[in-house]
Structure 1
């Protein structure tokens, strides 16, 4: 009895046992997840070794893509943590475009396709004849549109805007620029007191909505369209996303594997035909709309119906 009493006196109390048991369990789960996360990143790094070790000619340039990140903190976080390491390890050149409000991704993609149409018409109108000694364009100039530069969307909102921009850019032509409107000259007092940024925002809010586009299958360009890519990014802000954030602390390895292999498919450059049934709905369960958005911003991220004439010419990274 003396020995048992001595051992019992040395054991922690019930409350301390619960505390240390819970703390050690959570710490062990977090450490195990970090270890597995390192294994996943090492696996992805090994998968991209062939790309970064490939010997290029002096005239070759790295493959380039355009990445549209959803205008949220979580879109930036997912790209930095899970997508950027894969692109960097694969020696892939990319340009990041992060809009401030909904609708800017759609406008950027649409403008890119309209620029491609203008460059294609200018090239055809120039009547340039092939010569091995004369390049078709000046050496120091580069076309703004390149069909080899894929369009990658990070997040479901950006993905729907990319699809909407591709559809409108193919089926419509760039509308003519509106005539300049006379502006009243502000007084010196107003200029000194008003905030320039606030004045610019107020001016943009009072602009009339643009006229509807004339969509027609006859406007579809004859040149190839850039391949498209989708990368998962979930919005986890607010009280509704707090449980998923807690779960994410101990299961980050699953997210890194899911998103990392989506980025790896884009880095490898393998494509497949666009599936008009399933591809437009990718990430539909993760779509988010803020209550304080204007109606025109909410309409941009609604369901997208890609016309068959456009979908037949699209390709997806796989």
Structure 2
């Protein structure tokens, strides 16, 4: 017997009601009465997407904030650095247009001394000069010459040798000196009756290490003898050990081949002249008499700061200095402007606080002393170098950078320092630098594009050119 078919169950009313209601997980655009967010017609015509409906995520916000803040700090510091350099360059610009009192007289010529900082090459010091010092000097119209040192002691030797040459010309005029480029130029000027510059030229010394060599060279040149004393001359090199010559297949000895190779290398690479040895020591200052030809005061000088630090652990310090180069440019520009205006004073004695009492130290000794804290540690290790010099039969080199600065009052009292006058500084601070001088490449090009467009639009006639109606004769 077949089973009876069950009767159909009627639909539940609740289910029918829920089927017509919107689902809770459905998108709001499917809800009745919702107006979809359409793209802006202007953006659609330009092919640009619609604006985002929400902010970026937390990580993206942190990235944009840090990147934007650092970029803004770099851009602001670069603009203010350009503004500071341009302000001091415009302050000394009137010197370039001043008339020369004596056209036949040589112009004022400064001496710029720079050397490689500890652990680096001389290129770093040259870039420092080009970035902060040269723009001000070039605007003043003054001439300058370089004395560059690639190794420790080069500036000391150059300064002392210039002073000794000057002393020889005054004390021993009949002595024949070795002809140099400077001596040849002086002889040509003397024959043509060209007078030297009357006045103080000035020296610009960059960096603490160069400053210590400059002071040592002054003392050596004026307090040391003209010729190297016998007790400071290097001992003769030891004779070369005799080796048995081995004959090769070609009939030439190995010793002759080595000599030929050395001669070829010397021809290809010219050797650097040896550095002159110091003619005295710091202990001999008090016993050395002053020469008769010493002037009443020396040429003024200006020590220029050169902050330079190496090492991975010093990255925070380097970053802070990188973001504050505007203060460095302002300080260097101020000192170079003082050199250009040629206002100077005597070096003073400054009191330094001590644990026992207050000690008076010369201002020359305290100048740029803080830079020594940034020098690498290998500069202070000198025992290995001394042992190598002793093995080679040479006198140990004098460590001017690491040794304390020894001053003689007879020399320091004749030194002078450049200092900017208050009225010159006030006039420089009042100079307003236009925006076109400090703006970047993007803004400069946008500004020029706007001016070109505005000028082209203003120059185009907007209607028929009928002339002046009042001039028409009826």
TM range (shorter): 0.7 to 0.9
Counterpart pick for 1:89 among 132, 139, 144: 139
Shift in Å, 1:47: 0.8
Q: Does 1:74 align with 2:124?
A: yes
Provide closer, same or farther for how the CA distance between residues 35 and 139 of structure 1 changes in structure 2, counting only shifts above 3 A: same
Quote how far apart the aligned CAs of 1:164 are.
0.7
Contact 1:68 1:158 in 2 (8 A): yes
Q: Distance in 2 between matches of 1:159 and 1:246?
A: 26
**Correspondent of 2:406 among 302, 305, 311:** 305
Matched, 1:12 2:56: yes
Give 1:22 shift: 1.2
> Runs ≥4 in structure 1, deviation > 6 angstroms?
140-143, 181-184
- 1:138 corresponds, among 178, 191, 197, to 191
**Residue 18 of structure 1: how far off its partner (Å):** 0.7
Are the counterparts in 1 of residues 343 and 418 from structure 2 also a CA contact under 8 Å?
yes
Cα distance, 1:229 vs structure 2: 1.7
Q: Distance in 2 between the 1:112 and 1:210 partners?
A: 13
Query: How far is the alpha carbon of 1:89 from its aligned partner?
Result: 1.0
The within-5 A match list for 1:229-248 is 229-248=302-321
2:149 counterpart SS class: coil
* Contact 2:108/2:143, CA 8 A, preserved across alignment: yes
Gaps of 5+ in 2: 1-27, 29-33, 38-50, 118-122, 176-188, 241-254, 350-361, 387-395, 420-474
**Quick one: which of 166, 171, 175 aligns to 2:227?**
175
Map of 1:217 onto structure 2: 289
**2:345 aligns to what?**
272
Higher RCO structure, 1 or 2 (CA under 8 Å, sep 6+): 1
Q: What does residue 435 of structure 2 align with?
A: none
C-alpha change, 1:142 and 1:23, in structure 2 (3 Å) is same
Larger Rg: 2
1:61 pairs, out of 103, 106, 110, with 106
Moved more, 82-91 or 246-255: 246-255
Distance 1:169 1:139, change over 3 A: same
Cα separation, 2, equivalents of 1:274 and 1:63: 23
Distance across 1 between alignment mates of 2:222 and 2:199: 13
Superposed CA deviations along residues 66-117 of structure 1, whole A, max 9, x for unmatched, are 1111213432222111011111111121111211110111111111111111
Pairing of 1:148-227 with structure 2 (within 5 A): 148-176=200-228, 188-194=256-262, 195-196=265-266, 212=280, 215=285, 216-219=288-291, 221-223=293-295, 224-227=297-300
The alpha carbon displacement at 1:248 in A equals 2.6
Q: Which residue of 1 aligns with 2:417?
A: 316
Conservation of the 8 A alpha-carbon contact between 2:111 and 2:204: yes
Alignment partner for residue 100 of structure 1, among 130, 147, 150? 150
Q: Is the 8 A contact 1:173 1:219 kept in 2?
A: no
RMSD: 3.8
| C-alpha separation in 2, matches of 1:210 and 1:282 | 23
Aligned to 2:45: none
Cα pair distance change 1:52/1:141, threshold 3 Å: closer
Measure the CA separation in 1 of the matches of 2:174 and 2:198: 16
Unaligned runs of 5+ in 1: 126-135
Taking structure 1 as the reference length, what is the TM-score of the superposition? 0.80
Give the whole-Å Cα distance in 2 for the aligned partners of 1:243 and 1:91.
39
Q: In 2, distance between residues paired with 1:238 and 1:259?
A: 25
CA shift for structure 1 position 282: 0.7
Q: Taking structure 1 as reference, are residues 161 and 77 closer, same or farther at Cα in structure 2, changes over 3 Å only?
A: same
Q: 1:142 to 1:150 in 2, by over 3 A?
A: same
Contact 2:88–2:136 (CA under 8 A) maintained in structure 1: yes
Structure 1 residues 262, 124: CA separation in 2 closer, same or farther (over 3 Å shift)?
farther
